Structure 1
Amino acid sequence: MARNPTQSDVARAVGVSRGLVSMALSGSPAVAEETRERILRVARELGYTRDLGAASLAARRSRVLGVVLPDLRNPFLEGIVSALQDEAESRGLVSLVATASDDVGRELTILRRFHELRVAGVVMVSPVQPPEGLERAGELMPLVLIGADGPWRSLDSVHVDEDAAARLIVDHVRERGWTSLISLSERKGPGEVWIQRRQVALSRAAAAVGLPFDAVAIDGDAAISAALLDHLHPGARLAVAAHNDLVAIDALTAVRAMGLVPGTDVGVVGFDDTHLARRPEFDITSVSQDSPDSPGWRCWRWGRSPRAAVSPVGAVANGWSTPTCPYEAPPSSPTPLPILCPNKDFTTKGSVGSLVARRLQRRVLKCLHKSRPP
């Protein structure tokens, strides 16, 4: 295997010191422009590339951002990763993504490997570690949690306002004439802690307005039909609040397989407003986790009190919770408000990354950038 050219090789070819080559390659203003251009030209000719490992050792700082996902099935996660990568690249970082499959042991192993790599920081989405395990990991390296609402002592977290989302769903369901509500989610083992948080919020919101509610966990597509049959009673108008858009699509398929008409016989509401929910064959009403730039998103520096950045929500009202959805513009306000929109075109200004992750993950990266231990 051919040896990679080093800065010393570039220095010998140009006839300058290795230190001057290092300064030129790092963009130091102390290097004369003519000299810099000559060094850069020779470096390109030799095929020199920066050794990130050596640079990290010298700077005592890694350029790798670790990202831990529960899985790769949910397109909402793709949007998060895409935005993280864009923001990381703008800061000279490279994202290294691993999936834990909602397995506590596997997730712990990933955290250990990231610590061994001395990554610049770690972003975890819907983690399954017990709180004390996450706190310990946060003491070893900068750690930001997404979708994990908890009383963290030393961690920063970014999550949707579950109570606001629940009220939005319940109000929407009642306005459309549905008289009972079930939440539908997959069994996820330890990951169910975050599912239960959403179910509790829905239960409270439904109880506040006297709407009958039940939480249902399923193990597969067949279980959805069974759950619907258990809750479909003569004269009842049932709405389903799915934990995410994938579950909502499964519910929609089950409703159709039973010979029922979505939006007429059964209402279906998703969560995350992914591109799948907006496809014409599904066109599912879904909660959008929008994340506007606002003071509420700021992450605090290492050593200060942890900050929980809470995202406001909006619902994209498409075809399967109501046949029609008249739009009323929300009042002008400096504070983002949950809104109901008439169709997928009104609020889906680009991919899910542009809706939730672009601005949200910019805050996450700023938090990681500032949270290096002194």
Structure 2
Amino acid sequence: MARRPTIIDVARQAGVSKSTVSLVLQDSPLVKPETRELVRKAMAEIGYVYNRAAANMRSSNVGLIGLVINDLRNPFFTEFATSAQMAFSARGYATVIANTDEDPGLQAQVVGSMIEHGVSGIVISPAYGEEDATFETIARAGLPALQVLRRCDSRTDLFPFASFDYARGGRLAAAHLIAAGARRIAFVGGFEGTPITRERMSGYLAVMEEAGQAPFALHGRNSRGFGREAAVALTRDHPEIDAAICFNDLVALGMMSGFAELGRPVGSAFRLVGFDDIEECAQVWPQLSSVRCHIADFARDTAANMLRWLEEDTRPPAETRAPVELIVRASSGGGA
């Protein structure tokens, strides 16, 4: 017996997304007339029959967006998820949010579960490793999916990617520290070899080469605990290093704590710049300089791109980079 056509088959025949087909079947006014006609023509061509009773049973899942986040403990990602959720909610979409804790196995599990429960699209800040288990599942489902903040699947025609200009952020931070009088600058944090670490280091490395300075990296967990350990290790083993750019603000805040215990004043004896500019940077003492990524605006733009894809069948650009800026505060400005 031949297999009955599905809405995925209709989507492929019409050259649109599965979500667009669903909207046509629901008689949604969000679909343009020409797209509606294209979908109905594809349905006739392949003999698709709409099972309205079954669709009604699934209707509670229409307009559900999956947000898959690699580390919700980090305030940077929490702000992204919260801002995106609020933007989707403002347009009547519900969200289901999952923290994968940098575990690719858990990521594949939650993505599969979201698809089974009928999400219309997925926004994912992915964990590294075993990428096929996640992205091939999404591809087979025919769902719109956006990669954000990290690119783990190279098929950006299928999974568009959006992030920040991290290379420029590293360059701004390094140039600022040199201008402020730093003699030896380290890069602290980030898992060695991962694409996101290479991105955030690239601007720093370029400035070090231009200035004729030797780079120094101390890699590790992107956490306060590692930052505190790094402050102790640098003071003990590399006292000539008098400044650092950190992979993220959590590492930098941990370093500030470590230097406080050691009696090494941040801002004068050691200059420090974080990355992301989470809210706490302006609340600690001395205030922490940081590369600001406008994460709330970025999240709202991400939601808008997903909604245009779902409602208008307008796929986002293959790659988008949002601008960054350096916010100079006391931790790198020559005194607290």
Give the TM-score normalised by structure 2: 0.70
Partner of 2:327: 316
1:96 Cα deviation from its structure 2 partner: 1.0
> Which residue does the alignment assign to 2:239?
232
- Please state how far the C-alpha of 1:71 moved relative to its aligned partner: 2.3
- Post-superposition Cα deviations, 1:247-279, rounded to whole Å, max 9, x if no partner, equal 110011112222211011111101111111110
CA displacement 1:115-147 (0-9 Å, x = unmatched): 111201111124324454554244232211221
The aligned counterpart of 1:8 is: none
Mapped partners of 2:334, 2:109: distance in 1: 48
Q: What runs of 5+ residues in structure 2 fail to find an aligned partner?
A: 1-26, 30-53
In structure 1, give the amino acid aligned to 2:94.
V
Q: Given the alignment of the two structures, is residue 82 of structure 1 paired with residue 73 of structure 2, yes or no?
A: no
Q: How far did 1:304 drift?
A: 6.1
Residue in structure 1 matched with residue 260 of structure 2 by the alignment: 256
Please give the alpha-carbon distance, in whole angstroms, between the structure 2 residues aligned to 1:27 and 1:58: 13
Question: Is contact 1:65–1:94 with CA below 8 Å preserved after alignment?
Answer: yes
Provide the C-alpha distance between the structure 2 equivalents of 1:129 and 1:144, rounded to a whole number of angstroms: 18
Query: How many pairs were matched up?
Result: 268
Equivalent residue runs for 1:21-36 within 5 Å: none
C-alpha separation in 2, matches of 1:114 and 1:27? 23
Q: 1:194 Cα deviation (Å)? A: 1.8
Q: Aligned letter for 2:79? A: G
Structure 1 vs Structure 2: percent identity of aligned residues?
19
Counterpart among 210, 216, 219 of residue 217 in structure 1: 219
What residue in structure 1 maps to residue 176 of structure 2? 172
Q: 2:180, 2:332 within 8 Å by CA — same for their partners in 1?
A: yes
Task: Give the alignment's Cα RMSD to 1 decimal.
Answer: 3.3
User: What is the TM-score of this pair, normalised by structure 1?
Assistant: 0.63
| Deviation digits for residues 315-346 of structure 1 (CA, Å, limit 9, x no counterpart) | 11111001379xxxxxxxxxxxxxxxxxxxxx
| Cα contact 2:111–2:134 (8 A) shared by 1 | no
| Matched AA of 1:144 | L
Match of 1:194 in 2: 196
Hey, what does 2:120 align to over in structure 1? 120
Aligned pairs for 1:264-283 (under 5 A) are 264-283=268-287
Contact 1:126 1:194 (C-alpha < 8 Å) held by counterparts: no
Structure 1 residues 106 and 130: alpha-carbon distance in aligned structure 2, compared to 1, 3 A threshold: same
SS in 1 for 2:320: strand
Question: Is 1:285–2:289 an aligned residue pair?
Answer: yes
Out of 147, 150, 163, which is 2:149 matched to?
A: 147
Distance 1:321 1:290 in 2: 21
**Offset from partner CA, 1:97-131 (integer Å, 9 cap, x none):** 11111111111111111111120111112432445
Q: Residues of 1 paired with 2:323 and 2:149: CA distance?
A: 13
Please state how far the C-alpha of 1:179 moved relative to its aligned partner: 1.7
Aligned to 2:58: 57
Per-residue deviation at 1:88? 0.8
> Which runs of 5 or more residues in structure 1 are unaligned?
1-25, 29-52, 326-374
> Deviations for 1:3-46, whole angstroms, at most 9, x for unmatched residues?
xxxxxxxxxxxxxxxxxxxxxxx999xxxxxxxxxxxxxxxxxx
Change (3 A) 1:130 1:305: farther
Distance 1:62 1:127, change over 3 A: farther
Q: Name the SS of the counterpart of 1:165 in structure 2.
A: helix
In structure 1, distance between residues paired with 2:316 and 2:83: 26
Q: Using the alignment, how far apart are the partners of 2:314 and 2:91 within structure 1?
A: 22
Q: Is 1:152–1:306's contact at 8 Å kept on the other side of the alignment?
A: no
**Normalized per residue, which structure has more helix?**
2
Secondary structure in 1 matching 2:84? helix
Q: What CA distance in whole angstroms lies between the structure 2 residues aligned with 1:193 and 1:65?
A: 27
Q: Mark the CA change 1:147 to 1:58 in structure 2 (over 3 Å): closer, same or farther.
A: closer
Whole-angstrom distance in 2 between the partners of 1:83 and 1:55? 30
What SS does the aligned partner of 2:279 have?
coil
Return closer, same or farther for 1:130/1:58 CA change in 2, 3 Å cut-off: same
Cα distance change of structure 1 residues 251 and 27 upon mapping to structure 2, 3 Å threshold:
same
Indicate the SS of the match to 2:105: helix
Query: Is 1:138–1:155's contact at 8 Å kept on the other side of the alignment?
Result: no
| Residues 180 and 334, structure 2, Cα contact 8 Å, conserved in 1 | no
Deviations 1:141-177 (A, max 9, x none): 2211221146434111111112211111111111111
Aligned position for 1:245:
249
8 A Cα contact 2:189 2:247, kept in partner: yes
Superposition deviation, residue 224 in structure 1: 3.8
The answer to whether the 8 A contact 1:240-1:267 is kept is: yes
- Work out whether residues 108 and 134 of structure 2, in 8 Å CA contact, stay in contact via their aligned partners in 1: no
1:96 aligns with 2:106: no
